[in-house]
Structure 1
């Protein structure tokens, strides 16, 4: 069986984890946590970074930091993973779902402004497949209405947005806050894991307190206060040093990882383009303002029946392809709370999008087999 995903190990993970164990400090915010955070800040220009145990935790921290209160409205795409929504629902927010673009599963930027009301507090764009939303449009709207922007960059490590000014900016460095994932399905992994990027530094001090269970413990250990105590709400958001040590081995090899994934992505694209056109299947789209970090390779079938046949055909050849998100506005939990608007593009991706196996160790022969099985489709 060719799996959908296979975690990649660089070979240094166990070594750094062993080193972390023998430093005598296994709890969070030690040597490897600080190395990872500094690396992110210096490599991508983020204001301040805090590792978390998941991207979900990073999003929950963001919701606390922008002070989401019951009744506040948050605009986000319906076609996204549930964590994007849950983080704000937990604070009492009302979700206002936007449709996806016709050419890409990301949020339809042109639909956002019409969804704003006096209760709107934030916009949460999701950089689907690591491909940028049009952040100039989103940031202009946010500035016009005094809103916060929280980038869900779970899939977007080492991916960029080229603004109308021609400047290339790392995804996650543009909004007030951003959340990343290091889940085993992502380009850079630690099993579970995530990170909050704080670009609006008014949030930096409080973020560290929330991260440390609502205490000023970090300030105490830096000698900034003579004792520490409970000063705010918070939770245990920081990961152990073992997780951070694993992650450090991945960061060291990011260029090699990205190069290999891009090779696999380009092979799919080049070999399948003519076949896809013949069968009315849409290939992935990367706008001119975005880069491609090769997080995933997806196809958009013409209908759910075609997708089912494609998945079944691959499975019969021991190849696992998957579909994922179900439109959140039609979920059992939120359907009754949705305002009833039709979101046809989100529903189309729900029914028609399929993801092909995509991981560092996908061998050339395996990818050739996947492509052959697809090309043999009548």
Structure 2
């Protein structure tokens, strides 16, 4: 048991009352009052297209792959330094995965390396806004437009984060791709245990998205009296979460600004004090580019190598503090390594070997952390 865990879910105090309210309404399956409230919140606050709550960000990615009609022979470009869900959603459709390297300054896809990966079979590019920090979007947007491919923003950890373009306008992450996905897992800034969301910004997919979300049926149109029968019209699945999850999430959304304020104070404290806190370790601070307004989801350090990172993990563990390293490169994974035929991805491997995440959650106790380190 750790005195300071890596993560502790954020609670507002209203979660249980909203779940009870959903119980009183007698509607606990998906697509009820609280689902609608959450979806309208995202569409209104961030200007997203149609939004669809899902059981997870993993499911949201799988729903996106179905919507785009991806299948065998289609190539999908994605970063190697990412969670396995980013790849699984497209591998499950039989797509060919084309892994890209990371930027040298911070752990997002290197937009300068993408053109060489595009082929006549490329159908989609998936970018990951790592830890709520934006990818460099101008070149990415130009590439997908010039090559007529889909752009999916895997914004799992990027709720309430923004990109500031060359025109100085702040753009919410998740609003620039044809589709985007978010996670409401308990480790995220706000969550509902397990949960996610698909954002469909391309209006040509709106009707089909509703069918796919409803298990591939015309249920919504049928309930509105637009069809005489409730029929199977598309591939789909049971993507919608229960009203219990949506009610919990609504309580979290009401306190989003409060959670962000608390996390921001902790992130800034780490940034200002990390060299003095870890003076016996040669660590680098995270870099936040000037075009990225991040959401304080993750605070990481870069160690000199894997051995030093292991020493720092053990040092923190001895003080009762849990720290963790993050993704393992997907192109080197046991599942995919025999299939990978591309070039070495040196920057992705750098983050795999050197990046260390520190505890960060809304009620994190800075004074306790510092006291434990000094003991």
Using the size of structure 2 for normalisation, the TM-score is 0.97
Larger displacement relative to structure 2 (213-222 or 109-118): 213-222
Which position in structure 2 is the counterpart of 1:25?
A: 27
Offset at 1:336?
1.1
Offset at 1:366?
2.3
How many Å separate the matches in 2 of 1:276 and 1:58? 39
Which position in structure 1 is the counterpart of 2:348?
A: 346
SS of match in other structure, 1:270: helix
Which position in structure 2 is the counterpart of 1:58?
A: 60
Offset at 1:121?
0.6
Which position in structure 2 is the counterpart of 1:118?
A: 120
Offset at 1:163?
1.2
Offset at 1:222?
2.9
Which position in structure 2 is the counterpart of 1:107?
A: 109
Offset at 1:274?
6.0
Which position in structure 2 is the counterpart of 1:363?
A: 365
- 1:149–1:177 Cα contact (<8 Å) kept: yes
How many Å separate the matches in 2 of 1:320 and 1:279? 17
- 2:100–2:109 Cα contact (<8 Å) kept: yes
Offset at 1:369?
3.3
Which position in structure 1 is the counterpart of 2:253?
A: 251
Structure 2, gaps ≥5 residues long: none
- 2:281–2:312 Cα contact (<8 Å) kept: no
Which of residues 193, 211, 227 is equivalent to 1:225? 227
Cα–Cα, structure 1 residues 150 and 313, in superposed 2: closer, same or farther, change >3 Å?
A: same
Which position in structure 2 is the counterpart of 1:205?
A: 207
RMSD of equivalent CA atoms: 1.4
Which position in structure 1 is the counterpart of 2:267?
A: 265
Larger displacement relative to structure 2 (255-264 or 279-288): 279-288
How many Å separate the matches in 1 of 2:371 and 2:153? 37
How many Å separate the matches in 2 of 1:13 and 1:282? 39
SS of match in other structure, 1:14: helix
Which of residues 319, 322, 347 is equivalent to 2:321? 319
- 2:61–2:181 Cα contact (<8 Å) kept: yes
How many Å separate the matches in 1 of 2:368 and 2:222? 53
Deviations 1:153-176 (A, max 9, x none): 000000000111222110000000
Offset at 1:364?
2.9
The aligned length equals 373
Cα–Cα, structure 1 residues 277 and 287, in superposed 2: closer, same or farther, change >3 Å?
A: farther
User: Structure 1: which 4+ aligned runs deviate by more than 3 Å?
Assistant: 273-280
How many Å separate the matches in 2 of 1:200 and 1:259? 32
Deviations 1:327-364 (A, max 9, x none): 00000111111114100111111111110000011123
Offset at 1:272?
1.4
Offset at 1:225?
2.8
Which position in structure 2 is the counterpart of 1:239?
A: 241
Which position in structure 1 is the counterpart of 2:78?
A: 76
Which position in structure 2 is the counterpart of 1:129?
A: 131
- 1:276–1:282 Cα contact (<8 Å) kept: no
Offset at 1:367?
3.2
Larger displacement relative to structure 2 (45-54 or 358-367): 358-367
Which of residues 300, 307, 310 is equivalent to 1:308? 310
- 2:277–2:370 Cα contact (<8 Å) kept: no
